[in-house]
Amino acid sequence: MMRRESSFSKKMDKNTLRLFECLETGRCEANCIDGSKRLCHIRGKMHKKVWIASGDIILVGLRDYQDDKADVILKYMPDEARLLKAYGEMP
């Protein structure tokens, strides 16, 4: 089994979200750690390759020009999500 390098949201332009609801193709609605709700766009690289479901933990890139929208960069696996909680990245 391949292991990938852990990616945490240390930069200000990235944020960790818990997926709230999957909408139409390529879009989902997620709750941010700070309490805001954002509409997220699933990147073309991930589309139909990485399946994202409600309740998953995702890493998103925040947009400079639209505060209520973001782009999904990475889906955390369950063991990575446990590490995030252990390191204090997620409440």
| Tens-level pLDDT at each residue, the chain (91 residues) | 445 555 554 544 567 677 778 887 789 888 887 788 889 898 888 888 888 888 888 888 888 898 889 888 888 888 988 888 888 777 6
Give CA–CA dist 38/29, Å, rounded.
6
User: How far is it, in rounded angstroms, from Cα 27 to Cα 19?
Assistant: 11
Q: Is there a domain that residue 1 lies in?
A: no
- Return the DSSP state at 13: T
Q: What is the predicted pLDDT for the residue at 1?
A: 44
Contacts of 27 (CB under 8 A, 6+ apart): 39, 40, 41, 42
Q: Residue holding tokens 């089994």?
A: 1
Q: Where in the sequence is the domain holding 56, given as residue range(s)?
A: 14-86
Residue 8 belongs to a domain: no
Number of domains in the chain: 1
